[in-house]
Amino acid sequence: MKYLVLLIGDGDMPPWSTLTEEEQGAAMQRFADFDAACEAREGVQILGGEALGEGAAATVMTTRSGKVTLTEGPYAEAVEGLGGYYLVEVPDLDVLVELLTALPPYDIQINPVVDPM
């Protein structure tokens, strides 16, 4: 089963720019640990993933009545923004939840990917 994992805001972590180099390194190590745990687990594959820029750098595109409108900034004002994502293939949700505990303390949204065929 494929899942899109959304890393929401910084969870319990302070903003990245306020962390020391050592704290940033420790957080990055947790991402590396997650990657390694996925690689070591049979039937698990990270299909994609990236850290995302600040919400203020986002562009929202709407298409209504055949007209395209671009707006600077995030889709909705929120205290926490989307910090990054993973697209992961795993045997089931329980395995994914177990693996995600290796990541830094984010609020995490997990969405199953629907196969339209």
What is the chain's alpha carbon radius of gyration, rounded to the nearest angstrom? 16
Give one DSSP letter per residue of 13-63, joined into a string. Answer: SPPGGGS-HHHHHHHHHHHHHHHHHHHHSTT-EEEEEEE---GGG-EEEEE
Q: pLDDT value at position 8?
A: 85
3 state SS of 95:
helix
**83 to each of 47, 88, 92, 105, 117, how far by Cα in Å?**
18, 17, 24, 12, 31
| Overall average pLDDT of the 76-100 stretch | 87
Average predicted confidence (pLDDT) for the chain: 87
Residue 66, pLDDT > 90, answer no
The better pLDDT of the pair 84, 81 is held by: 84
pLDDT of residue 41: 97
Report residue 109's pLDDT band, with 50, 70 and 90 as the boundaries: very high
Instruction: Judge contact between 30 and 102, C-beta under 8 A.
Output: yes
Question: Which residues does 98 contact at the CB level (< 8 Å), separation at least 6?
Answer: none
